[in-house]
Every structure is written in structure tokens, then in C-alpha cells.
Amino acid sequence: MSDYKDIIRVIVVSFIITLILGPLLIPALKRLKVGQSIRKEGPKTHYKKSGTPTMGGIIIVIALLITVLTTGLFNQDMKVLILSTIGFGLIGFIDDFIKVVLKRSLGLKAYQKLIGQIALAVILAVYQSNNSILGTKIIVPFINGTIDLGMLYVPFIAFVVVATVNSANLTDGLDGLASGVTLIILSFFSLIALNMGMNSVAIFSAALGGACLGFLKHNSYPAKVFMGDTGSMALGGAVAGIAVLLNLPLIIPIVCGIYFAEALSVIIQVTSFKLTGKRVFLMSPLHHHFEQKGWKETKVVTVFWIVTVVLCLIGVYSLS
């Protein structure tokens, strides 16, 4: 049975491993010349970031694996969460590899990403529907009840998972933004999982949270390394997997509100431009809009962190 001491221990171990891995792997990424290219239409303040090593999500994933494999809680749920994290992270890694190593700017084609993402999401949904004590039921926040989705469970969960992964990917655009927001979200899930008696999920969430905390040492402004799609998709896959195993997919739009605000801003921007030729935002995703309004990068990141803390508190209230 895990308790808060176990959670703290796991966070510290993962944090220290990430701190150690950074100075070892970041120079290696530099030698491999896997530098980030900055889009010309992006904020001018980002031009100086060109060449900063990317694919740093490898650091997070390695720290996570070392930590969870030594906890003694390597059960079926843990295996599924690792599959979700590494599976989505691998899609991101291939995309990064094509873009920064093979120098093909577009990376994987959209349909190629979607095929892999949907396959992983369906595996996650089928596993949970067959192994959860709730079956195809999911918990509804605020009403302390459940709803049985029946045949709609698998397609609904698959949609939520794919949406979460891609939203997390869009959030990774400023130094420390995705890693900091996800750290807060994982802290929420770790506490909720512990309260629900889902010990392996709580430990996994804590381990990944500790890795995100350690990664901030290397990724906060000015970033020495970016996580790349390798990291952002791995984090999105982990968060989605955790929510599904806790039967809480409906909590994602609340606690992951920043993820979805970022994704929604892109959808609104593209739709508006195609239909009317006008843009709603100065630039999308949303964090770039605030930069264009004159906010410093560090201010945008701090505000988005604070908003995520508030959203997670609302999430706690919704389940009380």
C-alpha cells in the first residue's frame, strides 16, 4: 500500500535522475546536431532559440522508466501506462527524427501520426473496458455519479486520448510551458489516484511528475534543451492513460484546460481564416497570441501555470 511518503520518495528519485541525465544527454544531442528550427512566421524573440537541442523528452522517459521499474509496483496497469507513454513518445520521436536529423521540415504526415495514435488509443480503451471494475462506465465530475457509455466507450475514449495527446503537443511552444503545466496536472492525478487506492497509477504519476520537475532545470527560460514531439506526445499519452485508468476522462477538459485552450485556439484560427479570410488571434497556438500582445515569455508561462493550479483545484472540488 502506497502512502504520501512513497509518493515523495518517487518524486525525489525521478527528479534526481533527470538532473543527472541532463548534463549527460544534452551535449550528446548537440553533437548529433538535433537543433530546433524556428518557423519564420513565429515571434521574432524566438529566433535566438534556433539550434537549441530538441528531442529532450528522451531524458524524461528514461528517468520515468528507471524510477518505476525499481518501485516494485510493475503490475498490469503500470505496463499499460508505460505503453501509452512510450508508444505516443515513439511517434513523436520518429516525427522529430525526420525533421531534425533527416532535415525534412514536415516530419510525419498527419495521417501517419493519426493511424499510430488511434491504434494506441483503441488498445488503451479496450484494456480499460475489460479490466476496470466499472467496465464501460466513466465517472462524471460534480455529480458523484457514473455514466455507462456501452458500445460508445471505445470510440469515445479513443477520441479523448488522441485529442489530449495532440493538445499537449501544441502546448509545447515556450520554455517550461508544457513541462510545468504537465507537472501540475500529474500532481493532481497522483493525489487523486492515491485517494482512490490506485497505487500503481499514483506512483507512475508521481514518477513522471518528478521527471518533469527535473526537466524544468534544463527547460525553463532560457531553455538548454527542448522536449520536442518526443516529450510532448509522451506526456500527452501518459496524462491520457492515467485519466482513462482512473475512469476520469471527463476530468481532462477541466484539469488540462490549458492543453485544450491551446488546441481550440488553433482550430478557431484555422477555421476562421478558411471561412472568412480573417484571424481571430494575433497568432496561434494561444501562448503566441499573448506574446504578440507584448507579454514576456516568462509571464505567459507563469500565468498558464497559475491557471492550471486553479483548474486542478476545481478538479479536486468536482470529485469531492
pLDDT in tens, 114-165: 999 999 999 999 999 999 999 999 999 999 899 999 999 999 999 999 999 9
The pLDDT value given to residue 48: 61
Residue 246 resides in a domain: yes
Cβ atoms 241, 80 nearer than 8 A: yes
Between the alpha carbon of residue 109 and those of residues 95, 114, 116, 156, the distances in Å are 9, 9, 11, 24
Helices 297-318, 257-276: axis angle to 10 degrees equals: 120
Supply the DSSP symbol for 35: B
Predicted TM-score (pTM) of this structure: 0.94
User: Taking 80 as the threshold, does the pLDDT of residue 26 lie above it?
Assistant: yes
Cβ atoms within 10 A of the Cβ of 20, count? 13
Number of domains in the chain: 1
Contacts of 101 (CB under 8 A, 6+ apart): 32, 34
Question: Does 169 carry a binding-site annotation?
Answer: yes
Q: What is the C-alpha to C-alpha distance for residues 124 and 138, in angstroms, rounded to an integer?
A: 14
- Of the candidates 175, 180, 159, the residue with the CA atom closest to the CA atom of residue 223: 175
Q: What is the DSSP letter of 281?
A: S
Give the span between the Cα atoms of 211 and 76, in whole angstroms: 22
Whether 236 contacts 165, CB under 8 Å:
yes
- CA-CA-CA-CA torsion for 173, 174, 175, 179, nearest 10 degrees? -60
296 within domain boundaries:
no
Residue 173's Cβ-side half-sphere holds a number of Cα atoms within 13 Å equal to 26
In this structure, is residue 285 part of a structural domain?
A: no
- The overall average pLDDT reported for the chain is 92
**Residue 198: inside a domain, yes or no?**
yes
Label residue 240 by pLDDT band (50, 70, 90).
very high
Burial of 19 (0-12, 13-18, 19+ CB in 10 A): middle
Distance CA 51, CA 173 (A): 15
Cell for 129? 473496458
Q: Does a structural domain hold residue 284?
A: no
Would you mind telling me the total number of residues written for the chain in this entry?
Answer: 320
Closest CA to 20 of 177, 162, 217, 209: 217
In a domain, 279, yes or no: no
Contact status, residue 107 vs residue 96, Cβ threshold 8 Å: yes
Q: Is 188 contained in some domain? A: yes
Q: How far apart are CA 35 and CA 51, in angstroms?
A: 4
Q: Which residue has the cell 527528479?
A: 15
Please indicate if the annotation marks 229 as binding a ligand.
yes
Do the domain assignments include residue 223? yes
- Write the pLDDT tens digit of every residue in 61-111: 999 999 999 887 789 999 999 999 999 999 999 999 898 877 777 788 889
Domain with 81, as residue range(s), is 4-250
